[in-house]
């Protein structure tokens, strides 16, 4: 097994770990502590109207779309190992003779 393939597989397995690492404690707090749910609800009630004003909404969606395109491009490029395309050039005997005559 090549070392490069191992690191790619390892990197792909870390995605669910990081999702669980960040989302898990929040879910545990929401399930076991009622005040946490109220705090999150109040925070979203205060913050979301700011993000949905017309100017900020357009800027936010534009930045989100741009980030999404960059992220997709990054993952597609990481899957493609070699970006160079090599074209074989075959020279015939007649072309070699013409080069020698000149």
CB-CB contact of 57 with 65 (8 Å): no
pLDDT value at 74 more than 80: yes
What is the rounded average pLDDT for all residues in the chain? Answer: 77
Tens digits of residue pLDDT in 8-22: 666 667 778 888 888
Token pair of 66 as six digits: 């741009």
Residue for token pair 């700011």: 50
Please tell me the pTM assigned to this model.
0.37
């Amino acid at each position: 097994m090549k070392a490069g393939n191992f690191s790619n597989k390892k990197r792909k397995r870390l995605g669910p770990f990081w999702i669980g690492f960040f989302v898990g404690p929040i879910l545990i707090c929401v399930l076991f502590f009622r005040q946490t749910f109220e705090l999150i609800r109040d925070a979203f009630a205060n913050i979301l109207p700011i993000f949905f004003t017309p100017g900020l909404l357009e800027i936010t969606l534009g930045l989100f779309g741009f980030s999404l395109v960059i992220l997709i491009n990054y993952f597609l490029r990481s899957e493609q190992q070699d970006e160079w395309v090599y074209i074989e050039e075959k020279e015939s005997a007649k072309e070699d003779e013409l080069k020698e005559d000149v």
